[in-house]
Amino acid sequence: MIFHCTLVNVPHDCLHYEFLSLLQIGVGHYFSPLKARKELGYVPLVDQKEAFKKTITYFKTRHAKDLKSPSLLWLILILPIYFGLFPSVLVPPPFLGFLEPVRFPWIFLLRSVQNMQILVIIVCLGHLLEACFAWLLARQLDPINKKGWFLQTLFWGFPSFMLILKRRKRKE
C-alpha cells in the first residue's frame, strides 16, 4: 500500500487508504464485554456494578485529597490589592508608568507611602504565619499536598487558610 499522495499524481492505493480512514472515523467504537467473552474468551475479574462502585469510590477519595483553591470571588477581590498596593510600595514613582494612578487611592486611604510600606510588611508577615500554620495542619490532614497548601496560603492568605480549616473541621 502506498501512503504518499501528491496533488498532481494521486496513486489509486492512496485514495483507497483515505476512504478506509474515513470509514473508520465514521464507525462508532465501543467496548463490548459480551463480544470479548464470545470471541476472545475474556472473563472479567470484577462484575460491572462492582467496578463502577470502586471507580466512584476512588474518584471521591481522590477528590477529597486534592488541593482546593479559593473561589473566583476571592481572586477578584485580592488581585487588585496585589497589583495595586505592592507596585505602589515597591516601585519608585518615576518607574510606575501607566500604574501611577493606582498609587493615588492607596495614598488617599493610608495617607503616606510609609504607611503603605508598613501595611505591606504586616500583610507579608501575616501571609507567612498563615502559610506556616496551614503547612502544620496539612501535615496531619493532607500530607501529600502540604507543600501546595503552604504555597497557596502564602499567596492567597485568608481564603486558602479557610479551606484547610474547613477540611480540619470536616475530619473531626
- Contact assessment for residue 165 and residue 141, using Cβ atoms and an 8 Å cutoff: no
* CA 42 from centroid of its chain's CA atoms: 39
Three-class SS of residue 44?
coil
C-alpha span between 164 and 16 (Å, rounded): 60
Question: Quick one: pLDDT at residue 8?
Answer: 47
Sign of CA dihedral 92, 94, 98, 101: positive
Question: Quick one: pLDDT at residue 82?
Answer: 77
Sign of CA dihedral 32, 35, 37, 41: negative
pTM of the complete model beyond 0.75: no
Question: Quick one: pLDDT at residue 132?
Answer: 92
- Contact assessment for residue 147 and residue 58, using Cβ atoms and an 8 Å cutoff: no
In a 10 Å sphere around its CB, with 0-12 CB exposed, 13-18 middle and 19+ buried, how is residue 164 labelled? buried
Of the candidate ranges 9-23, 53-67, 71-85, 141-155, the one whose mean pLDDT is the lowest: 9-23
The C-alpha cell 486558602 sits at: 160
% helix, strand, coil for the chain, step of 5: 80, 0, 20
Residues 69-97 as b/e (b if ≥16 CB within 10 A, e otherwise) read ebeeebeeebeeeeebbebbbeeeeeeee
Percent of the chain with pLDDT over 70: 77
Give the pLDDT band (50/70/90) at residue 129.
Answer: very high
Which residue would you say has higher pLDDT here, 86 or 15? 86
